[in-house]
Structure 1
Amino acid sequence: MSDFYLLSKPNCGLCQQALLQVHQQPLEQPVTLAMVDISDDPALLEEYANLVPVLIRAKDDAELRWPFQQLMEFLSQ
């Protein structure tokens, strides 16, 4: 099982699309996905305000930015 974080913010339509894309992937191994509201953290808000949604892989802090072109590969690594 792998851990991932989806950086999002309130009223973000792209974030909802990103979440749906992650849930629709036909994965062989389950993943744990935590939602992170960047508006709760000034440092995250400053860094990612115009970039969300961003998917982060916890084991190596790799980032996949929207649009998620290689989502399946990113989730499987």
Structure 2
Amino acid sequence: MADFYLLSKPNCGLCDEALALLHRLDLEQPMRLHWVDISQQPELWDEYALLIPVLVRAKDDAELRWPFGEQLMEFVTA
């Protein structure tokens, strides 16, 4: 099972939309998704406040920035 981190913050409509897209993926192998509230971590806030939502693949720290688009499936299955 692959681990991913969705960098987000409370009351973020785009983050909610990103989460909905992730839930709609038809994956052969399940993914473990961790919700990361960047508003609680100043170092993440400084780097990602204007970029969220960002999906981070744990195995290599690769980032997929919003809008996810067609590359989302390729990113989560790589």
Shorter-chain TM-score tier? over 0.9
Aligned to 1:23: 23
**Corresponding letter in the other structure for 2:65:** R
Pair 1:73-2:74 in alignment = yes
TM-score, reference length from structure 2: 0.97
Q: Structure 2: which 5+ runs fail to align?
A: none
Aligned to 2:12: 12
**Corresponding letter in the other structure for 2:76:** L
State the alpha-carbon separation in 1 of the partners of residues 68 and 51 from structure 2: 12
Aligned residues: 77
* Shift of residue 40, structure 1, vs aligned partner: 0.4
RMSD, aligned α-carbons: 0.4
State the alpha-carbon separation in 1 of the partners of residues 20 and 68 from structure 2: 12
